[in-house]
Amino acid sequence: MRRPIIAGNWKMFKTIAETRQFFDALIPALQDVEHCDIVVAPPFTALAAAAEEAEGTRVSISAQDVYWEPQGAFTGEIAVRMLVDAGCAFTIIGHSERRQYFGETDQTVEKKTRAALKGGLDAIVCVGESLEERDGGSAAPVVRRQVQNGLGAFSEAELSHVAIAYEPVWAIGTGRTATPEIAESMHAEIRKTVAEIYGNSAAVAIRILYGGSVKPDNIKSLMDCENIDGALVGGASLEAASFASIIKYR
Ligand code: PEP
C-alpha cells in the first residue's frame, strides 16, 4: 500500500550540461515505469536545469539540503522558497555527510524539516548509525534518538510529507551494503518508533527508504523486504543506465 520511492542523491557531482545529458538519457528509459515515485537530487547549481528537463515527466526534483530561515544574512545558505522557485518538490535533510562534515545535528534536522514542510517541500530525512555505534551495539538506540529528536514534534498531516531514509554510515559510498536482514530489522525499528510517537496509522503510512551502496544487483532483495519502501541511491544514481535499472527493480 505504500508507494515506493527511488531517489538519486548526486552529492557534489555534475554541471548543468552534464545534468541535461543525464536527463536526455534517463527520461526515454522510464517510458513504462509506473510502480514508483522517482526523485533526483542534483547540486544547487543544476536544480533549475533539472527541473526544466523533468517537467512533464514522472521525475521530481529534490535539493540535497536547505536552511531554516526564510531569507537574510546567511552567506552560503539557501532558503525553502528559493528551492521551490528553482522547481524542487523535495529536499533531503540530515544526510550523514552533512552530520559528519558540516555540523548537522538532530536539532538542525528538526528546524530544517519544519521549514521545508511549512514552505511546501516534502522532506527525505536521513538517519543512520556509524560503524563504531553498530559494532558497539548501539545502532538501534542511535537511530531511535535521531527519529525522536529530528521528527518527534510534527503533526500527522506534516509527517505525511516526510520520508525517512535509513542510511547506515558504514554502507555509504563503501560498496558495503547492509544485508536485507539488517536493513529490514532497522526499518521495522524505525516504524515502531514512529508508531510510539504518532500512532499506528502514521507508522503504517510513512515511507522508509534504505540507502548505502544500493546497486542494480542488490535493489531487488532490499525492495522485497516488508518495511523497505524505496532507496536513496548515491554513486549508482550518477549514471542514467544504472539509475534506470535500479528504478526498474521489479
Ligand atoms: C547516499 O549518498 O545517500 C548514498 C547512499 O550513497 P551510496 O549509494 O553511494 O552509498
| pLDDT of amino acid 114 | 98
pLDDT at 1 over 90: no
CA distance 242 to 143: 29
| pLDDT of amino acid 109 | 98
pLDDT band for position 112 (50/70/90)? very high
pLDDT tens string 145-166: 999 999 999 999 999 999 999 9
pLDDT tens string 226-242: 999 999 999 999 999 99
Q: What is the whole-number distance in angstroms between the Cα of residue 120 and the centre of ligand 1?
A: 25
**Widest CA span in the chain:** 48
Q: At what angle do helices 240-247 and 16-29 cross, to 10 degrees?
A: 40
Q: What is the pTM of this model?
A: 0.98
Which of 10, 14, 174, 213 to probe ligand 1 with, by most ligand atoms within 8 A of CB? Answer: 213
| pLDDT of amino acid 176 | 86
Q: What is the whole-number distance in angstroms between the Cα of residue 74 and the centre of ligand 1?
A: 28
Query: Is 120:87 a contact under the CB 8 Å cutoff?
Result: no
Q: What is the whole-number distance in angstroms between the Cα of residue 210 and the centre of ligand 1?
A: 10
Give the pairing of strands 59-63 and 90-93: parallel
- The answer, yes or no, to whether any atom of ligand 1 lies below 6 A from the CB of 211, is yes
Query: Is 61:88 a contact under the CB 8 Å cutoff?
Result: yes
Say which of 97, 104, 167, 184 is annotated catalytic.
167
- The answer, yes or no, to whether any atom of ligand 1 lies below 6 A from the CB of 234, is yes
Ligand 1 atom nearest the C-alpha of 175 is: 10
Q: What is the whole-number distance in angstroms between the Cα of residue 98 and the centre of ligand 1?
A: 13
- The answer, yes or no, to whether any atom of ligand 1 lies below 6 A from the CB of 214, is yes
pLDDT tens string 44-96: 999 999 999 999 999 999 999 999 999 999 999 999 999 999 999 999 999 99
Q: Does 187 participate in catalysis according to the annotation?
A: no
Which of 95, 96, 172 to probe ligand 1 with, by most ligand atoms within 8 A of CB? Answer: 172
- The answer, yes or no, to whether any atom of ligand 1 lies below 6 A from the CB of 123, is no
- The answer, yes or no, to whether any atom of ligand 1 lies below 6 A from the CB of 128, is no
When the pLDDT of each residue in the chain is averaged and rounded to a whole number, the result is: 97
| pLDDT of amino acid 14 | 98
| pLDDT of amino acid 110 | 98
Q: How much of the chain, in percent, has pLDDT values that exceed 70?
A: 100
| pLDDT of amino acid 57 | 97
pLDDT tens string 170-187: 999 888 889 999 999 999
| pLDDT of amino acid 177 | 86
